[in-house]
Amino acid sequence: MNPAPPLRTISDIERLLEAHAASHALLLNVERLGLPDAWIGAGFIRNSVWDVLHGQSIDVTRLADVDVLLFDPGETGKEREAEIERRHRALAPGIPWSVKNQARIHLRNGDAPYLNTLDAVAHWAETATAIAARSTRGKVEVVAPYGVDDLLNLIVRPTPVFGHKIDVYRERVMEKGWPARWPKLTMLMSWEEAYPAPHSSFDRIDT
C-alpha cells in the first residue's frame, strides 16, 4: 500500500517521497554525491503521484530512467555526466540513472542559457512533468515552477514556454502513451485547450 495519500499539496508530495523507502533512497544517493544544484525530476515524481491517484503501487523499477539534474557551468562535458552515472550505479545497481548537466541542455533545446536547475525545469514540456525533488540532510524538498495543481488533477498541459513548440509537445505526449497506464488523465493536446482565451498563458508566473 502506498504511504501518505491523499495528495493535495506540494508538502503531501514531499511526505510521499520521504515515506516511500525506494524513492527516498534514490534521493539520498544523489545527496550523498554532493553534486551542484542536484535534483531528481520528471517521471520520478510525476509517475509516483499518478500511480497513487490511480490506486496503484509506486514502483521505481518501472521508470524508463531516473533523471538526475545538476547545474555546473564549469564542467559541461558528457564524460562528466557518464562518470556520475557510474557512481550512481555503484550506489544503486539496476536503476536506469540518467544524468544531465542543465548548464548545457539549453543548446539541445534551442533555448537561452538556463540560470540554474529550477530554470531548466521551467523549460520542460508539460506542467505535470516540470517538477523536481532533492534530499537535504534526509529531508525531501520539491520544487514545481508551475505549481502542482495540474499534476494532482491529472491534467497533461504544455508549459507556457512551449507556445512556439506545441508540435514538439504533442508528438512527445502521443509517444508516451500515458492514458493506457493512467486512464483518468485529461490530455490537452492543443494550445487553445490548454490556455483558452482570455487566460492564454501563465504570464504572471515568475520562472
| Predicted structure pTM score | 0.90
Q: Is pLDDT above 60 for 142?
A: yes
Q: What CATH code is assigned to 10-147? A: 3.30.460
The one-letter amino acid code at 180 reads A
> For residue 197, what pLDDT band results from cuts at 50, 70 and 90?
confident
Query: What is the 8-class DSSP label of residue 27?
Result: H
| CA atoms of 55 and 2, how far apart (whole Å) | 8
* Mean per-residue pLDDT, 15-42: 97
Cis link prior to 6 (omega < 30° from 0)? yes
Exposure of 175 by Cβ count < 10 A (0-12 exposed, 13-18 middle, 19+ buried)? exposed
Average pLDDT, the chain: 92
Q: Which of 21-30, 176-185, 189-198 has the lowest mean pLDDT?
A: 189-198
Rounded average pLDDT over 134-161: 97
What local confidence, expressed as pLDDT, does residue 62 receive?
A: 87
Q: What mean pLDDT is predicted for residues 162-178? A: 96
Question: Where are the chain's structural domains?
Answer: 10-147
Give the mean model confidence (pLDDT) for residues 160-188. 96
Q: In terms of pLDDT, which residue wins out, 41 or 4?
A: 41
Kindly report, residue by residue over 70-119, the tens digit of the pLDDT: 999 998 889 999 999 999 999 999 999 999 999 999 988 888 999 999 99
% of the chain exceeding 90 in pLDDT? 86
Best CA proximity match to 133, nearest among 64, 47, 40, 207: 40
